[in-house]
Amino acid sequence: MAATLTANAPARPRKLLASRRTRVGILYALPVVVYLLVLFVYPIFSTLLLSLKDADGSFTLHWYADALTGVNLSVLFTTLRISAETAVLSLVFGFVLANAISRLKPLWAGLAMLIVVVPHFISALVRTYGWIILLGDKGLVNETLTAMSIPGAPFQLLYNELGVVIGTTSMMLPYTVLLLYGVMRGVDRRLLAAAASMGAGRVTIFRRVYLPLVAPGLASAGLLSFILSLGYYITPALMGGPNQTMIATLINQQVTKENQWNGAAAQGVILLVLTLAGLLLVKVVTSLGASRKKRNAS
């Protein structure tokens, strides 16, 4: 019996490949595989190799040690801090906006979502310059605050961390609103009505019914904003100062000004690892949310 199974085992792949459906499937998948290998796998693999090579071509971890010490480590912490601040603010404003839109009738909700999404079609560079005009010393925001006789006006709203966070949050907000709106729109409002009919107050309903239902969406939206902010370049470069240098800006400086491709490659690999860790965390959170929904449904 064992000999028969051993003899038949090699025949199964050959029989499978002999199937016309299998050959057609492989033929259809081949362009996609080649596309992924050429445009994704090869550049990542080349960057990884470049980050592990010294000037003479020998293997070294010097570039990673350099990326995780001194000024470069400070830039990494700055990137993580600004990305976290952006994620929190995007989550707060996105939650309020998405919650308000989800309570509208479908027609008005569609129009409101259109207003949220359409600015995202404009170039990020144009929107960033728009924020620079608005937040400048003679911009609309400071002129309004000065006219209202606010103490301390005009404020320094550009070329510091506040300016970077404001600009980056505006770029991440549409992603957060879109994700949260889909989650909130799927909440069964009858559950909230049932909790109210049993005597629960608004705060209790929000804390014990509504918030747990949208918690997976909140986690996913926050992590998405954080991941996108890690590698964001345009807004931090234009609205920040020397103390707000982020990894993407540092990589650009190493390549264009210092011609230091190995160090830039190491920074890129570190950024990729952080991004993959965030995506894995999103996957875990989403899976936990789906499991919780199944348990609640059963």
Up-side HSE of residue 211: CA atoms within 13 Å toward CB?
7
pLDDT of 18 reads: 55
pLDDT of 5 reads: 44
Residue reference for tokens 């980050």 = 51
pLDDT tens across 211-223, in order? 888 888 888 898 8
Mean pLDDT of 225-241: 89
Question: What is residue 150's three-state secondary structure?
Answer: coil
Specify the amino acid at residue 101. I
Q: Kindly list the structural domains of the chain, giving each domain's residue range(s) and its CATH number in brackets, ordered by start.
A: 61-287 (1.10.3720.10)
pLDDT tens across 241-298, in order? 888 889 999 999 888 888 889 989 999 999 889 888 888 887 787 777 667 666 655 6
pLDDT of 243 reads: 87
pLDDT tens across 43-99, in order? 889 999 989 988 777 888 889 998 888 889 999 999 999 999 999 999 999 999 999
Query: What are the structure tokens assigned to 110, written together?
Result: 């569609």
Asked if pLDDT for residue 4 goes beyond 80, the answer is: no
Nearest Cα neighbor of 274 from 204, 227, 233, 208 is 227
pLDDT tens across 177-201, in order? 999 998 898 888 888 888 888 888 8
Q: How many CB atoms lie within 10 A of CB 217?
A: 23
DSSP per-residue letters across 30-54: HHHHHHHIIIIIHHHHHHHHHHTB-
In the structure, what pLDDT confidence band is assigned to residue 17 with cuts at 50, 70 and 90?
low
pLDDT of 31 reads: 87
What size, in residues, is the chain? 298
Long-range contact set of residues 64-69: C-beta below 8 Å, sequence gap at least 24: 64/266, 64/269, 64/270, 66/263, 66/266, 67/263, 67/266, 67/267, 67/270, 68/270
